[in-house]
Structure 1
Amino acid sequence: MARLQHAVAVVVLDRDRLHAYAGPVCDLAESTRARGGNIVLPDGL
C-alpha cells in the first residue's frame, strides 16, 4: 500500500479558534498513528 504525504495550508483569521481546534486535532492524529491506525481526512474541507 502506498503512503501519501499531504501538506495542508490553513488561513486563520481568529488565533483563539486556531488554538482551540489545532491541539485536539494534532492529539487525535498522533494517538491514531501511535496505535498503528490510518488517519483519513475527507476531501473538500
Structure 2
Amino acid sequence: MAPIYWMMLFLMFLIMFFILMNILFFSFIKLINNKILKKINKKNYNKLI
C-alpha cells in the first residue's frame, strides 16, 4: 500500500507543479505582450503625429 500512496502523492505534486508553471508562464507572456504592445503603440503614435 505504501508505494501506491507515495506514487499518488508524487502525481499530485507533479500536477500542482504543472498547473503553477502554466499560470506563471502565461502571466509572464501577458506581461511581455503588454510591454511590446505599449512600445508598438508609442511608435505608431509618434509616427501619426
* Coarse TM-score class (shorter-chain normalised): 0.3 to 0.5
Which has the larger Rg? 2
Return the TM-score normalized by structure 1: 0.46
The answer to which structure, 1 or 2, has the higher relative contact order (CA under 8 A, 6+ apart) is: 1
Q: Which has the higher helix share?
A: 2
Return the TM-score normalized by structure 2. 0.43
